[in-house]
Structures are given as C-alpha cells and as structure tokens.
Chain A
Amino acid sequence: DTGVSQDPRHKITKRGQNVTFRCDPISEHNRLYWYRQTLGQGPEFLTYFQNEAQLEKSRLLSDRFSAERPKGSFSTLEIQRTEQGDSAMYLCASSLLPNEKLFFGSGTQLSVL
C-alpha cells in the first residue's frame, strides 16, 4: 500500500493521559499536514510541514499539542493531558505540491473518557 498510513486507527484514553499518533506519508511527498475532524464537520487545519520544517500552526493547536517530523518522512502528533474536547478524528495528509492534491490517511479516532 503506497497511500498515507496512520497508526493507531483507534485510541481510547482517560482524561489527563498523553497520546501520540503516527503518520507515514506517501514516500515522494515532502509536504505533510495534520487536520482534526469532528462528526458532521469538515476537517480543521492543525499544522503543516515541508520536509522536517513545521511551517504553519493553527491557533487551534494549543500548548498541549506538538507535532514533529524529524527526518522529513513520518510525523508524530502528541497531545498531552488530554481533555474530553480533544475527542475527534485526527487526519494526516501529504502532497507533492503546496496545498494541492492532498491525499489523506484513514485517520486516528481518539476518544477521551
């Protein structure tokens, strides 16, 4: 499978715990994006990487959220001290050109109890 891969598919955690998600983009894509989506809504932009550089971060990304792409390939998104409001689908996408033809993974569904 040469698409965008995300792991895990589902995560259930208790409030206050830390969680980390992984994204493996399409191999030739140097641009990687994280979005968050709640039921019935369109995805909301969180952050954007070009290679290993994090170029943009949404105001939605509080201090509890951090994303990395250390070698310009896979990326991780960590949420510290999770809150119930963090429950959502976390989507990763990659592209070859900036903000064009983004291809998405299947997402990580986070449930904070």
Chain B
Amino acid sequence: GESVGLHLPTLSVQEGDNSIINCAYSNSASDYFIWYKQESGKGPQFIIDIRSNMDKRQGQRVTVLLNKTVKHLSLQIAATQPGDSAVYFCAEAGDYQLIWGAGTKLIIKP
C-alpha cells in the first residue's frame, strides 16, 4: 500500500539554530499533508498543513515545503527552542484516514 516515511529517525540541533525535518511520500495523487508534533505522553498536536497546489506554506516559526516532483515534504523550524523537543510526524491524507510515517525525534542541544 501507499506509505509515508521519514529520512532520519533522530535529529539533534543546537538551540537557536534552524531545524529541518524531512519526509518522503509515495502516493503521487495525494493532495493534502499535515505535520504533527508529539510530546511524550501526549497526543499529536497539529502544526501546519499544505495542499498539493502549493509549494510552500508558512506559520509561526514553521515553514512546510512540498516538492511534488520528488514527492518530498520538509518542515523547517526557525530558531529552535527547548520546547520544540518532540517527535515530529508527517501525515498524508487518504480517503478517510491519515497515513503516518514513523516519526523523527528532534533533540535540542543547549
């Protein structure tokens, strides 16, 4: 079946630097994607979404980039803070469910 995957299971970033979390998807027909942040013991928290008719979307300190040619998504977090420590998931919208990757753990170094 179709799947969404992440390139790196763990990413360590210096506090204050920018973070880039990558994600590959396999269904070229997908038209909607979401990034979630999940802290330990909590449910996934919606960060930002993007439709396939866009290449880029910005939120507060976050930017999502979509490259449909290579079926690749990225989440950029500006000026990473300790509170950004979490597991980040990209998810692809299927007909009635979200298809999730395994997640990337973001570690912030002081």
Contact = CB atoms under 8 A, between A and B. Distances in A.
Check if A and B associate.
Answer: yes
Interface of A: 4, 6, 33, 40-45, 48, 55-56, 58, 91, 93, 98-107, 109
B61 interface: no
B102 to A, nearest CB: 6
Contacts of A4: 43
B103 A42 contact: yes
A1 to B, nearest CB: 13
20 contacts: A40-B102, A41-B103, A42-B91, A43-B44, A45-B96, A56-B96, A56-B97, A58-B97, A93-B43, A99-B32, A99-B94, A99-B96, A99-B97, A99-B98, A102-B98, A104-B44, A104-B45, A104-B46, A107-B42, A107-B43
Contacts, number: 59
Nearest to A43: B100
A98 B96 contact: yes
B84 interface: no
A99 B43 contact: no
A61 B3 CA distance: 20
Given A43-B98, A48-B96, A103 B89 contact: no
Contact of B34 (A44, A98, A101, A107): A101
B98 to A, nearest CB: 7
A98 B32 CA distance: 11
